[in-house]
Structures are given as structure tokens and as C-alpha cells.
């Protein structure tokens, strides 16, 4: 059996490979596309490929997640699923889920998304230049170019792949290394923030990562943080756009302000298991 210190190494190995495969892979993809364009059409071919990628950023995002997704899903399977079997693993990850759980997660996603707006207001007040750079990056990212491909690139691939990496592999390896849940959750959350490679997103995703880790622990499930992650991405794009289009500024401010007590109340409901299936006597935590 691997020594406890070895599990720390595994956790950071996963993180290092994540950066290499996703960010290194995106660079290789861009270079490969440029080289292919140059071979087919010279400078004009490069420009055609560049413009195609610029106009299809969601496709580019999907492609950058495919190989890391395959690698880490297989890693998670062989590390934590194979010995127990798929059926038993799915059963253990769903045994505490109820309709109430999904209701709390939706409310949590709504609250967290609007608390994020408060965090951005604070960042803008303290570091306006940093916030401007972040806004420019988001505006050019294709995140609001809604389509089926957008749904895959925003609501499916990142929640699945990132949750398997951070709340699946890294959090569990840190736990196996002997770290308390609070310490393990804090480490993976900080790594999750670093993974996003910019200060603004790093701050709010680190906080989000801590919450996602708590949900994975609270429900003994990787599926719950996946669901919240997808809801958070959905609300941060479609819902925010709809609110800005149809709601007056005063109402937006009210919604953002009430998001703080809503977040607290929802977390209390989750913590105390309101609407949750009760464990049977003698049932072991998986």
C-alpha cells in the first residue's frame, strides 16, 4: 500500500498533469492548426485557421478538454471505481440524494452566482485594472455565444472533467494522505483557483472550489458538485444576461444583496440535512 506521503505526491501530480494537458494541449492544438494551415495555404491558410478558431472558441474549448477528460476519467475509474464496480460506486454516490437536495443545489447556485457579483464589485474597487483585463478576457472568450456546442463547452465538459480532477482525484488523494477534510478541501480549492490562471477568476473559483468540496463530502458524492458546477456556469451566463436585459438596476442590486442571507440559509439547510434521506443504523460512510 502506498505510504501516506505518496498520496500527497499523487494529488500534486494530478494537478501538474492537469495544467500540462489542458494549457499545454491548447498551445499544441493552436500550433498544430497554424502549421496545418501554413502547409495547406501558406500565410493565407494560417489566417483562415486563425479566423476559424477565433470564430469557434467553443469548439476550441471542447477540443482542449477531450484528452484531459479521457485521461482523468480513466484515472478516476482505475483509482476509485474499478475495485468496487460501477454499479456499487454509482449507488454509493447517489444514496443520499433526494429531490430536496437538487432544490438546495439550485438555490445554492443562484446565491453563489450573485455573491460572486459582490466579490467582483470588491475586486473592481480594489484593483480596477485587473478587473478590466478580466472583463476583456471574458468578452472575447465566446462564453456568451449560445449554441449546442456552447452547452457542451460550458455546462458539460468543465463540470465533469474539473470535478473528477479536483473533487474526485485531488481531494480523495489528500484525504488518503492523512489530511483533515478542512485542510484537504482548502488545498484543492486553492489549486482550483490557480488552475484558472487569472487573479479575478482565481479568487472566486477558489471560494467556489471550497464549497464544491464541501458538497462532495456532505453528500458522499461526486455528482452533486458536478451539478452545482453546471448550474453555476449556466446562471453565470444565461441567467445573468437575462437579468441584465429585463430587470431594472434597483432590482438587480436587491437580488445581489439578498444572495448573502440566501447562501447562508441554504448552506444551513444542506448542513442539517433538511429533506435528506436518513442513514440507516450502522450504515458506513463510503
Reported as a single tens digit per residue, the pLDDT across 121-163 is: 999 999 999 999 999 988 888 787 899 999 999 999 999 999 9
Reported as a single tens digit per residue, the pLDDT across 176-210 is: 999 999 999 999 999 999 999 999 999 999 999 99
Contacts 24+ apart (CB under 8 A), 80-89: 80/168, 80/172
Compute the mean pLDDT over every residue in the chain, rounded to the nearest whole number. Answer: 92
Which comes out higher in pLDDT, residue 285 or 34?
A: 34
HSE-CB at 41 with a 13 A cutoff on CA atoms is 10
In this prediction, residue 231 carries a pLDDT of 98
In this prediction, residue 235 carries a pLDDT of 97
User: What secondary structure, in 3-state letters, does 42-58 show?
Assistant: HHHHHHHHHHHHHHCHH
Least confident of 28-37, 64-73, 78-87: 28-37
What is this structure's pTM? Answer: 0.93
C-alpha triplet 104, 162, 266: angle, nearest 5°: 15
In this prediction, residue 199 carries a pLDDT of 95
d(CA 221, CA 128): 38
Average pLDDT over residues 18-44: 89
Q: Is residue 265 predicted with pLDDT exceeding 60?
A: yes
Please, which pLDDT band fits residue 282 given cuts at 50, 70 and 90?
A: very low
Q: Is residue 281 predicted with pLDDT exceeding 70?
A: no
Q: Is residue 286 predicted with pLDDT exceeding 60?
A: no
In this prediction, residue 174 carries a pLDDT of 97
In this prediction, residue 1 carries a pLDDT of 59
Reported as a single tens digit per residue, the pLDDT across 34-75 is: 898 888 888 888 888 888 888 888 999 999 999 999 999 999
In this prediction, residue 276 carries a pLDDT of 78
Average pLDDT over residues 260-269: 98
Please, which pLDDT band fits residue 278 given cuts at 50, 70 and 90?
A: low
Contact predicate 205/232, CB 8 Å: no
Q: Is residue 115 predicted with pLDDT exceeding 60?
A: yes
Which comes out higher in pLDDT, residue 225 or 44?
A: 225
Length of the chain, please? 286
Q: Is residue 212 predicted with pLDDT exceeding 80?
A: yes
Total Cβ atoms within 10 A of residue 160: 20
d(CA 252, CA 37): 46
Contact predicate 188/172, CB 8 Å: no
In this prediction, residue 140 carries a pLDDT of 80
Q: Is residue 283 predicted with pLDDT exceeding 50?
A: no
Amino acid at each position: 500500500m502506498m505510504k501516506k506521503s505518496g498520496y500527497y505526491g499523487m494529488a500534486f501530480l494530478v494537478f501538474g498533469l492537469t495544467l500540462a494537458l489542458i494549457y499545454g494541449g491548447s498551445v499544441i492544438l493552436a500550433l498544430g492548426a497554424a502549421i496545418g494551415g501554413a502547409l495547406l495555404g501558406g500565410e493565407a491558410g494560417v489566417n483562415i485557421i486563425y479566423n476559424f478558431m477565433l470564430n469557434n472558441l467553443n469548439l476550441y474549448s471542447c477540443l482542449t478538454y477531450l484528452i484531459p477528460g479521457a485521461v482523468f476519467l480513466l484515472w478516476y475509474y482505475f483509482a476509485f471505481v474499478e475495485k468496487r464496480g460501477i454499479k456499487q460506486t454509482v449507488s454509493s454516490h447517489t444514496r443520499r440524494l433526494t429531490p430536496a437536495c437538487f432544490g438546495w443545489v439550485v438555490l445554492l447556485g443562484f446565491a453563489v452566482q450573485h455573491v460572486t457579483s459582490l466579490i467582483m464589485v470588491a475586486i473592481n474597487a480594489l484593483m480596477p485594472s485587473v478587473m478590466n483585463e478580466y472583463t476583456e478576457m471574458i468578452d472575447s472568450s465566446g462564453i456568451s455565444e449560445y449554441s449546442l456546442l456552447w452547452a457542451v463547452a460550458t455546462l458539460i465538459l468543465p463540470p465533469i472533467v474539473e470535478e473528477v480532477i479536483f473533487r474526485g482525484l485531488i481531494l480523495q488523494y489528500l484525504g488518503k494522505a492523512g489530511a483533515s477534510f478542512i485542510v484537504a478541501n482548502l488545498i484543492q480549492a486553492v489549486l482550483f483557483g490557480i488552475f484558472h490562471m487569472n487573479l479575478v477568476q482565481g479568487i472566486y473559483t477558489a471560494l467556489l472550489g471550497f464549497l464544491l468540496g464541501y458538497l462532495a463530502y456532505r453528500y458522499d458524492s461526486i455528482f452533486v458538485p458536478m451539478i452545482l458546477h453546471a448550474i453555476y456556469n449556466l446562471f453565470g451566463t444565461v441567467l445573468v444576461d437575462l437579468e441584465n436585459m429585463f430587470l431594472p438596476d434597483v432590482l438587480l442590486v436587491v437580488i445581489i444583496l439578498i444572495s448573502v442571507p440566501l447562501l447562508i440559509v441554504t448552506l444551513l439547510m444542506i448542513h442539517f440535512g433538511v429533506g435528506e434521506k436518513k442513514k440507516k443504523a450502522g450504515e458506513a460512510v463510503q
